[in-house]
Chain A
Amino acid sequence: TQLLEQSPQFLSIQEGENLTVYCNSSSVFSSLQWYRQEPGEGPVLLVTVVTGGEVKKLKRLTFQFGDARKDSSLHITAAQPGDTGLYLCAGEGETSGSRLTFGEGTQLTVNP
């Protein structure tokens, strides 16, 4: 079974600060996705990274896929209260078809 370890599990910061969330594995993934989940809702896809070393930007969010396709990071610049939520990484295994392996999640709280 492939595992994805996400850190930190909890993060509470002030508005305007920067932060990074990490997602690590000993397994290689064909692609890695990041989702955000708000209370009372299901996770919603933010981005998919496919190529080793790939960097994608979504406004103040920067996503990176490791060169070896075993890890990923999410960096948020100048966090805002609207960024508050649970961030989940999910990896597509090389032989798992459409099945995803999810990390444990990072609960981010941005205080005004």
Chain B
Amino acid sequence: DVKVTQSSRYLVKRTGEKVFLECVQDMDHENMFWYRQDPGLGLRLIYFSYDVKMKEKGDIPEGYSVSREKKERFSLILESASTNQTSMYLCASSIMVRQYFGPGTRLTVT
């Protein structure tokens, strides 16, 4: 079975802190994605990557950056966390179109 793991299930950070969310997949997938999920808004794509050291902006990249130094690892970075970034963050990997999701990180910024 494909496994996508995320470094934390719950995280509480203060406004202005730099936040790292880590995602690791074990199936050698080329594609990886970061989404945020908010009630009534579904999943919104923040960034995605089709290969190592490659990144593409999604629909809501402002306030975020990403890093993909190794194929299995895709990191989401909040350079200076703000309260409007309080959300559920989901990482996914895919081969072809089917996406496999991690369990999510619920981030609270106070």
Contact = CB atoms under 8 A, between A and B. Distances in A.
A31 B96 CA distance: 12
Interface stretch (A13-21, A57-65, A72-80, A102-110): A102-110
Interface in B94-110: 94, 96-104
Nearest to B98: A45
Contacts of A98: 31, 50, 94, 96-97, 99
Chain B contact surface mostly:
strand
Contacts of B50: 97-98
Contacts, number: 57
Given A45-B98, A102-B44, 13 more contacts: A6-B42, A40-B104, A42-B101, A42-B104, A43-B101, A44-B101, A45-B99, A90-B99, A98-B99, A99-B33, A99-B48, A103-B42, A104-B42
Nearest to B31: A98
Interface in B52-110: 58-59, 90, 92, 94, 96-104
Interface of B: 4, 9, 31, 33, 35, 40-45, 48, 50, 58-59, 90, 92, 94, 96-104
Interface residues of A, number: 24
B31 to A, nearest CB: 5
Contact of B98 (A33, A42, A88, A102): A33
Contacts of A4: 42
A31 to B, nearest CB: 6
A24 interface: no
A107 B64 CA distance: 28
Contacts of A40: 9, 103-104
